[in-house]
Structure 1
């Protein structure tokens, strides 16, 4: 078996269409593997938006302080290898195959017990990640939740610090139809007597999180009360802020774009300071500065190229679309913008389009490469409400070539991380990862 055959098995043989809540399967699978998730210290990160950026920042903070660090992300943009990184680098394909075979052996044993016992796609890949981290001898981990928290496969971690970045509406069919219910699911990652860091300010979700922290005797660190930031400079790829929390830092540089990234960086920094306190190591200012400046989170208001300049942002839900609108107005006010937008069918299409569609002088609606996007024509019909110069091209690459021929100076690609990853891959390499033929 080679790497692509391994991926084909994971995508096609592991149940993913129906989510069965619970930690029993992942716990059993990891128990078979010798519980590799217990072999490293970690920070566990959830949130409706911002968790990917916070996880990246934490990973780099750990690396710059000398720790061999495993980081786990989802979803990926262009290649499955982006999900499981050690020191922010891809791991060897051979190691993937070795750990895959270990996990497959036990997963197929569990399959024999019935449909409800079959490890899902995410449970299988989470077990692989922990196996890889153990094999590579990671000391610390920055682990991003896949969905929610309480029943997410990553929640078998015995994390040292829990992070809840934000709480808003997304995945309501699974997590609940109120922000309070969603907050309860995310608060499920809070561990008994270990600290929690929260970047949310809405009273409803906060009350839920505070109650869970009280019940679990977790010290809660809140933005605006226990730590805060001051905006110093917003300049594309050259942003600055000052931080006050467990320690104070002035004029920290941040390559990540958008004022919301000051919140994400502050949440990550407070969590890292607590992590250092828990593990008993010294936080060095020069390492903090280097980590924050070097952090890039692909597909989150990421700027590539010039003439045309491409901006990739995976704003896939209404709060993220509102943030993208604010970020565009901050950095690109009065510029002529063209957009390529594709949205998955299970998302709030009107909510996303109402924020971003009016920003473009020229808009093309397309189809993200995903089995969850089979109604792109529906997206197009809805987009007509918000933009008069909108057209439909289901092939993302053809949509891109249309805008290039029309010589738009800035092209923004957004609405789905699947779309962002597909076109980013094509633009950077002039070709596509062979994985797209398997995962799409």
Structure 2
């Protein structure tokens, strides 16, 4: 009997661990696509009350471009004033990215609540016949439909996970379907030819539901058209029913014209400019326009305006993405020959002097074809392993690159969190660092090298949970390791506050935690009462998350709490000359307290610090008056 149903689910980490535990059903040895079935998802949705039945959906399949098409369609529909839900996979940095409402990831609490509702049904079905045993993707699909139904969306954009015919998302009856492209991918599961793969992806076509087709080669196109004729699905094909013409592609944007001809002979046109380069971007944007147009829900005048405005604002993460904080880093999840070709074409504009390539790829990809396209522009390759269960071993990958071109310099850094740091630090002059081959690697690089424009949204701060309180001594220990041994002895740095102390403070609501996009605690502030007033006992941030404004916001959260408790000021004790100590606190309104003004509690604290080995001449007590407004960031 599974015990999962009895384990607490309070945080995003809890929910993600539960969902990830289900993935083993699809990754275990011997799994084949043919063993997938729609019975489990149908049983699960039936037990949930069929939340998908009242959703109007655009269902998107394809080898590449299906996620981009969903995001472009989302941007257009939002501009048209619709409330939109978007379900895509996998995520780059956080589970909440898979489930978007009105262009933003759902909140952690909303996702946790939905998983809580789905879990008992999944657990119950797991005890039944194997024919209705839910998989990882069955559960996430049900969660998406539940979130969208409860949010009351006008439209849902649903990306197929694997294939189409037997994919969990194919339990729906959409308003429009779309097949973006067909390439040789997942051949061990979907087939060895484009026709076989197209047959699987065309499995989402439904009777009397229009299907929008991207640019397909003859073999694949024939398979999809045959399926459309068999089920009676009207076809809207790129090149036959609409066209896309590139106008300009440079650092100023990627301009194109979408054009469709009515049976009457009149023409509908949209002129738009995208932020991202590459012909794939314009092709996918055109598919999005065609999908929204096929809904028949909006006038062509409104659609034209919404497409122009919405597409101009749309940003696609990890699709030929230039990091906003570092224009020398280009991130793309290209992992097929066609997508690599599109990336290389964009690099002609973005990296005219060449690139260094940070590379990881799954074992089921066409590695020689990828190397054929990426290596001619490459001056050095950094090899890493983005996903331990799926990515090619770094030594094997490096040897494959040597066999391809013996003169290529190769650096191996197996840890995908460290590889971006090493590659960026060693990047040659006038070159760009290009990340490719894996969406998991793209997420790791965005997490490590990307600096968020808005730390408030990327690292939310709130009261710590009981589970999180137990993690704080380890964060304190890692933060203490940054100090010089002359300031903090190794013995003292290795002896953090007891977890029981943090647990007691958590119960009293005196610990604030900062969380990263995956809901992991990356910093905290601990308050105590001293002389009847608030005292900031500890502020620590994980070293890898320094210089992101997290510490500042933790301090301001602590000050706001103290003010809410009726305190007129808040105190702390810190190092006088360490840059991230007294100089930092001065920047958030704290001032040094003269020795003659120390309260009895602060004097006792000074004595306690001396007994632990801290040099009092290097320390300073500070106070901030709480009626003073927070300093402007």
Q: Please, which of 135, 150, 155 is the counterpart of residue 170 of structure 2?
A: 155
SS at match of 1:361: strand
Which structure exhibits the higher relative contact order, with contacts defined as CA atoms closer than 8 Å and separated by 6 or more residues? 1
Task: Compute the TM-score of the two structures, normalised by the length of structure 2.
Answer: 0.66
1:26 aligns with 2:46: no
1:320 aligns with 2:335: no
Matches within 5 A, 1:125-274: 125-236=140-251, 238-245=253-260, 248-274=268-294
- Residue pairs, 1:4-403, within 5 angstroms: 4-14=13-23, 15-17=25-27, 18=31, 20-236=35-251, 238-245=253-260, 248-275=268-295, 277=296, 279=297, 284=302, 285-305=304-324, 309-329=328-348, 331-332=349-350, 334-373=352-391, 375-384=393-402, 385-386=404-405, 388-403=408-423
Q: Deviation at 1:433?
A: 4.8
In 1, distance between residues paired with 2:449 and 2:133?
A: 38
| Residues 342-395 of structure 1, C-alpha deviations (whole Å, 9 max, x = no match) | 112222222222211232112111111342126121111111123612221112
Deviation at 1:200, TM superposition (A): 2.6
Q: What value does the CA root-mean-square deviation take over the aligned residues? A: 2.1
Cα distance, 1:417 vs structure 2: 0.3
Paired residue secondary structure (1:221): strand
Farther-moved stretch of structure 1 (115-124 vs 169-178): 115-124
Question: Is 1:232–1:242's contact at 8 Å kept on the other side of the alignment?
Answer: yes
Q: Distance in 1 between matches of 2:447 and 2:282?
A: 28
Separation (CA, whole Å) in 2 of partners of 1:434 and 1:240: 35
Structure 2 vs 1, CA of residues 189 and 418 (structure 1 numbering), >3 Å: closer, same or farther? same
Q: Give deviations 1:205-259, integer Å, cap 9, x for gaps.
A: 1111111111111111111111001111001361101111155335311112201
**2: CA distance between counterparts of 1:326 and 1:372?**
28
How far apart are 1:126 and its partner, in Å?
0.5
Aligned equivalents of 1:350, 1:167: Cα separation in 2 = 19
Corresponding residue SS for 1:239: strand
In the alignment, structure 2 segments of 5+ residues that lack a partner are 1-8, 262-266, 453-458, 460-515, 522-633
Deviation at 1:121, TM superposition (A): 0.9
Q: State the distance in 1 between where 2:310 and 2:353 align.
A: 32
- The alignment covers a number of residue pairs equal to 434
Q: 1:436 to 1:187 in 2, by over 3 A?
A: farther
Distance change (3 Å), C-alpha of 1:172 and 1:258:
same
Name which of structure 1's ranges 351-360 and 264-273 shifts more when overlaid on structure 2.
351-360
**1:44·1:145 contact (CA, 8 Å) conserved in 2?**
yes
Q: Which residue of 1 aligns with 2:550?
A: none
Deviation at 1:399, TM superposition (A): 2.6
Structure 1 counterpart SS, 2:82: coil
Partner SS, residue 245 of structure 1: strand
Secondary structure, aligned partner of 1:113 = coil
CA distance in 2, matches of 1:356, 1:9: 38
Question: Which residue in the other structure is 1:412 paired with?
Answer: 434
Distance in structure 2 (CA, Å) of the matches to 1:163 and 1:31:
26
Asked whether the 8 Å contact 1:46–1:148 carries over to 2, the reply is: yes
Q: CA deviation at 1:169?
A: 0.4
Q: Retained in 2: the 8 A contact 1:308–1:411?
A: no
How many Å separate the matches in 2 of 1:436 and 1:3? 9
The 8 Å contact of residues 343 and 376 in structure 1, kept in 2 or not, is answered as: no
Q: Per-residue deviation at 1:283?
A: 5.1
Q: Take 2:100 and 2:449, find their aligned partners in 1: how far apart are those partners? A: 23
Q: Secondary structure at the match of 2:165?
A: coil
Q: Tell me if structure 2 keeps the 8 A contact 1:164–1:187.
A: yes
Task: Report if the CA contact (8 A) 1:194-1:219 is conserved.
Answer: yes
Unaligned 5+ segments in structure 1 are none
CA distance in 1 between counterparts of 2:186 and 2:238 reads 25
Cα distance in 2, alignment partners of residues 295 and 78 from structure 1? 19
